[in-house]
Amino acid sequence: MINLRASDRTVLAAFAIFVSQVSNATGAAWSKSLFSTLGPEGVVALRLAFSALLLVVLTRAWRLRVRREQVGNLVGYGLCLGLMNSVAYQAYARVPIGIAMAIEVTGPLALVILNSRRASDFAWLGCTVMGLALLLFPSSGIPALDVVGLCFAFGSATCWAGYIVFGKRVSGLGSGSLGGGSVVAIALAGVSLFTFPLGVISAGAVLFSPQSLALGFGVAILSSAFPFFLQMQALRQLSPKIFGFIASGVPAVGAAMSFIVLGEQLAARQWLGIFCVVVSAAGCTLAAAKAARA
C-alpha cells in the first residue's frame, strides 16, 4: 500500500472532483444525444432508475432508519432531486448545456447571497447579474435562446436550491463511510416511481430495448454513480472550501464537454457570461468559508 503525503492526497482528491465534473458533464452531453430516440423523459427515467439501483446497492440503503418527523423532509428532498434532474433535461433539450448549467448554478448562489450579511457578496451578486445578462440578452450574430428552455433552466436552479435546503435537514440520517449517500439512494428510488412511468408513456416500448437499457445504464454511471463515488472519496481529504471552489467550475466543464461530444459552439460573449457566473460561485464559496472560520 502506497503512503502519500497529506499534500499529495489533497491534490489527488481535487483531481477526483474535477474528473467527477467531467464525467457528469459527459453524461449530460451523451444524454442529449439520446433525446431524439427516447426523449428527455425517457432518458431521465432510465438515468434515475439505474442510479437509484446502483446507489442503493453501493450504500446498502436498506439499512437506513428514518424517524417519523423526518419523513416530510425526506419527501421534499426527493421531490427537489427528481425535479432538478427532470427539469434540467428539458432545458438541455432546448438550450446549450453550458448555458443551462450556468443558470442552474444561480440557485445555490442565491441561497448564499440571500443568507449573507457581508457587503462583499453584493459584488458577487453583480458578477452573477452581469453573467446572466451576457447569456440571456441576444446580440448581433447570436441567436436568441429558447424562452421555454430558459424557464426550465431557472426551474432547475430553484429545485437545486430546494435540494440544498432539504439536504441539510436530512443530512444527519445517513451514517457510515458513505455518509448521507443512502439518503440520496432512497430519494432517487422514490422519485423513480414517478419518473419511470412518465418515461414509458413518452418513449414507449423502445425504452425497454436492450440498446436503450444499456445506454441508460451508461448515462447513470457517468452522470450519477461514478461522480458520486469520486466525490465521496474526495470529501474525506478536502475541506468544504476547496470542494466548493472546484465545483464552481461546473458550467465551464459542461460547456466544454458539450462542445466535444455534441459540437455545441458558444459565442465569445456567452463564454464570458459563463466565466462571470463561475467567478461569482467561486467568490461566494471562498467568502463563505472565510466567514465560517471567523
pLDDT digits (tens, 9 = 90+) for 220-275: 999 888 887 787 777 667 666 676 777 788 899 999 999 999 999 899 999 999 99
Greater pLDDT, 65 or 55: 55
How many residues are listed for the chain in this entry? 294
Dump pLDDT digits (tens) for 117-141.
667 777 888 888 999 999 988 777 7
Kindly state the average pLDDT of the residues 91-96.
94
* pLDDT for the residue 141: 72
> Which is nearest to 214 in space by CA: 64, 34, 89?
34
User: What DSSP assignment string belongs to 17-65?
Assistant: HHHHHHHHHHHHHHHHHTHHHHHHHHHHHHHHHHHHHHHHHHHTGGG--
C-alpha cell at 220: 447513470
Measured between alpha carbons, how far is 186 from 174 in angstroms, rounded to an integer?
A: 11
Do residues 92 and 39 lie in contact, with contact meaning Cβ atoms separated by under 8 Å? Answer: no
Kindly state the average pLDDT of the residues 16-27.
89
Greater pLDDT, 294 or 249: 249
Do residues 36 and 215 lie in contact, with contact meaning Cβ atoms separated by under 8 Å? Answer: no
* pLDDT for the residue 163: 84
- Neighbour tally for 215: CB within 10 Å: 20
CB neighbours of 190 closer than 8 A, spacing ≥ 6?
A: 75, 78
Do residues 51 and 60 lie in contact, with contact meaning Cβ atoms separated by under 8 Å? Answer: no
Dump pLDDT digits (tens) for 196-227.
999 999 988 999 999 999 999 999 999 888 88
Dump pLDDT digits (tens) for 38-59.
999 999 999 999 988 888 887 7
Check whether 26 has a pLDDT greater than 70. Answer: yes
* pLDDT for the residue 178: 39
- Neighbour tally for 32: CB within 10 Å: 20
Do residues 46 and 216 lie in contact, with contact meaning Cβ atoms separated by under 8 Å? Answer: yes
- Neighbour tally for 165: CB within 10 Å: 14
Measured at the CA of 162, the angle between CA 241 and CA 235, to 5 degrees, comes to 30
